[in-house]
Amino acid sequence: PVPYGDTGTRMEVTYWDGGAHARMQGWRWGRAGCEAGLGRRAPAAVLRHCSRAALCPAPQLDPENTGFIGVETFASLVHSHELPLDPAKLDMLVALAQGNDEGQVCYQELVDLISSKRSSSFKRAIANGQRALPRDVLLDETGLGFYKRFVRYVAYEILPCEMDRRWYFYQHRTCPPPVFMAAVTLTQIIVFLCYGARLNKWVLQTYHPEYMKSPLVYHPGHRARAWRFLTYMFMHVGLEQLGFNALLQLMIGVPLEMVHGILRISFLYLAGVLAGSLTVSITDMRAPLVGGSGGVYALCSAHLANVVMNWAGMRCPYKLLRMVLALVCMSSEVGRAVWLRFSPPLPASGPQPSFMAHLAGAIVGISMGLTILRSYEESLRDQCGWWVVLLSYGTFLLFAVFWNIFAYDLLGAQIPPPP
């Protein structure tokens, strides 16, 4: 039993196999906040019984319909149930109580907490409670297996707040795995190997006349084949471009997908790819396009912008050095693409692939991607900024479609004949 404060409130915690069983023998809600025997290390089980208790009909917990959980009502619930407590949710429950002037917890906030919903107002309530979390951090956790250590590493690489890192660490599930970035990278490697073996050329493949005949390559003469605006991401100029993109997709894309989920990261990646090809069709009308750089730069620019905006909270090691290296490598790749576009080292039958997809992907990442990464475990539909970004992107898509339908003929663009 661990005494807490001067009220004699106590908590009994019995550990077994890394789990815990907590029996709350007293609970007091006061103006100073939630005072309960939490100890320095919270148990690592799931809040099952409390989930059933908190999801009771509102009249049972809030008979006066005040919107807050009554002292005696909630205390009796906690006292009468054996609660295996999730550490991250327990921490946030304390912060929620301390964020209220009366030391109370809003009924809806409690339900959202138990059901793992986190809105902007929920996070503001946590902030108002001055982030009343235990001082020990995830780095102090011992006895973790290899995978849990990897999850902890991902948490510190991606998330800027200790509260979010703890939430992710304890809420993380292995299903579904981060399959999108792995599948895209594997497909790109397989396609490259197939064309490399077929053409017997592994560097500067775009200079081979048969390479540009692929049904996957974007070419201005094949704009009516709409799938090419996306499938060009599976083709690459050579081994150097494929290696650079694959490395970034695995090192940055996979951790981002683990934290933010397959839907958000796949949407961001494909939005960067589509924006890249459409931008090329507008700004570099004669050029073809290959490579997944639009999606890669969307992910990387979003992550780097998120790191910069949360610099003090990020705990990834050597972050300044890694930031400089990332910017140097990305700038070098753009410079190489510009050089190949305007100063081809080998005779070519037509214009070489454009570099504008890199820049378009970066813009998508800084705008749409940053909005996604800053909304960890929050609903994007409830955020005005998300709809502004989405409307802007939709307007760009609509403009690009009309441009591809009418502008080439109206401007008399001299595009090279399709291969």
Sketch out the chain's domains with CATH numbers: 2-136 (no CATH), 138-174 (no CATH), 179-411 (1.20.1540.10)
Tokens of 324: 């400089």
Say which of 266, 281, 293, 375 is annotated catalytic: 293
Tokens of 28: 């007091």
Q: Running along the chain, 419 residues long, what does each successive block of 10 average in pLDDT?
A: 35 33 32 33 35 46 61 55 56 62 63 59 48 54 86 91 84 87 97 93 86 92 94 94 95 94 96 97 94 96 93 86 92 93 82 94 95 86 92 97 92 83
Q: How far apart are CA 264 and CA 272, in angstroms?
A: 12
Q: CB-side exposure of 198: number of CA atoms within 13 Å?
A: 13
8 A C-beta contact, residue 96 and residue 109:
yes
Which residue, 312, 321, 419, 308, is CA-closest to 373?
A: 308
Long-range contacts of 21-24 (CB under 8 A, 24+ apart): 21/45, 21/82, 21/84, 22/82, 22/83, 22/84, 22/85, 23/82, 23/83, 24/78, 24/79, 24/83
8 A C-beta contact, residue 99 and residue 127:
yes
Strand ranges of the sheet holding 2-4, from the earlier edge strand across to the other edge: 2-4, 9-16, 19-24
User: What pLDDT is attached to residue 343?
Assistant: 87
Q: How far apart are CA 202 and CA 283, in angstroms?
A: 29
Q: CB-side exposure of 194: number of CA atoms within 13 Å?
A: 9
DSSP 222: G
Per the listing, tokens 């009516």 go with: 224
* Inter-axis angle of helices 356-364 and 262-283, nearest 10: 140
293 is catalytic: yes
Which helix or strand (DSSP H or E) is residue 13 part of?
strand 9-16
User: What pLDDT is attached to residue 91?
Assistant: 63
User: What pLDDT is attached to residue 260?
Assistant: 93
Tokens of 152: 């902890």
Tokens of 316: 């990834």
Which helix or strand (DSSP H or E) is residue 20 part of?
strand 19-24
8 A C-beta contact, residue 153 and residue 363:
no
User: What pLDDT is attached to residue 79?
Assistant: 57
User: What pLDDT is attached to residue 89?
Assistant: 63
DSSP 83: B
Instruction: Reduce the DSSP state of residue 194 to 3 states and report it.
Output: helix
Helices (H), 234-261: 239-248, 254-260
β partners of residue 35: 28
User: What pLDDT is attached to residue 114?
Assistant: 61
CA distances (Å), origin 92, targets 4, 49, 296, 304, 350: 18, 17, 35, 28, 60
| One-character DSSP codes across 388-399 | HHHHHHHHHHHH
Which residue, 36, 47, 46, is CA-closest to 12?
A: 36
User: What pLDDT is attached to residue 142?
Assistant: 77
DSSP 28: E
User: What pLDDT is attached to residue 191?
Assistant: 96
Say which of 236, 260, 303, 358 is annotated catalytic: 358
8 A C-beta contact, residue 75 and residue 53:
no
21 is catalytic: no
DSSP 168: H
User: What pLDDT is attached to residue 215?
Assistant: 94
Tokens of 204: 């500067």
